């Protein structure tokens, strides 16, 4: 159970990019729709989940086209499946933030609390991915703190831009 929770929350080494991307996507959707759907959390949860799945499929499609052109042939089912598995971290990154929103929609927690939890999980996930990157690169403490800070700042800046554009 612990391993499954870690995978949903943090991804793994091979999926850092998808986890960061998926986290930014779900937080952007929640930021863009949070005020509009604050009292319609079921709708917000479905929009966030659907957006993650749609962008995952778009990644499969675009990576499949690129890899097909690089190989000079059509990809087989196993190759497309491998792309889908590699990119699935985009969807996994949305699971816990959407689950937090669902808790609010179900009335188990106060609606604003659910949204704060969703953002908290997303921000925590971005921080953890920065730490993972720093560890993989064997960065010093100072470089690690800088890397994590930049990862959080860039991710949250992208979310903020999305929220500003949609309001």
Q: What is the pLDDT of residues 107-141, one digit of tens each?
A: 999 998 999 999 999 999 999 888 888 888 889 99
The confidence score (pLDDT) of residue 70 equals: 95
Q: What is the pLDDT of residues 138-159, one digit of tens each?
A: 899 999 999 999 989 988 888 8
Task: Spell 115-144 as b/e; 16+ CB within 10 A means b.
Answer: bebbbebbbebbebbbbbbbeeeebeeeeb
Maximal C-alpha separation, the chain: 54
Residue 167 has pLDDT above 60, yes or no: no
Q: What percentage of the chain reaches a pLDDT higher than 70?
A: 93
Does residue 43 or residue 4 have the better pLDDT? Answer: 43
Domain residue spans in the chain?
13-166
Sign of the dihedral defined by the CA atoms of residues 58, 59, 65, 66, in that order: positive
């Amino acid at each position: 159970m612990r391993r499954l929770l870690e995978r949903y929350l943090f991804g793994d080494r091979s999926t850092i990019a998808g986890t960061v991307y998926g986290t930014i996507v779900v937080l952007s959707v929640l930021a863009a729709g949070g005020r509009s759907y604050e009292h319609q959390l079921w709708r917000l949860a479905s929009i966030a989940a659907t957006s993650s799945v749609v962008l995952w499929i778009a990644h499969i499609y675009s990576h499949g086209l690129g890899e097909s052109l690089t190989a000079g042939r059509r990809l087989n089912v196993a190759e497309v499946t491998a792309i889908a598995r590699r990119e699935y971290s985009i969807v996994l990154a949305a699971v816990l933030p959407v689950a937090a929103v669902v808790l609010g929609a179900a009335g188990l927690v106060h609606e604003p609390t659910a949204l704060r939890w969703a953002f908290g999980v997303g921000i925590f996930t971005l921080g953890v991915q920065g730490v993972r990157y720093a560890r993989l690169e064997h960065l010093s403490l100072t470089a690690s703190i800088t890397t994590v800070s930049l990862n959080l700042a860039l991710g949250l800046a992208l979310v903020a831009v999305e929220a500003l554009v949609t309001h």
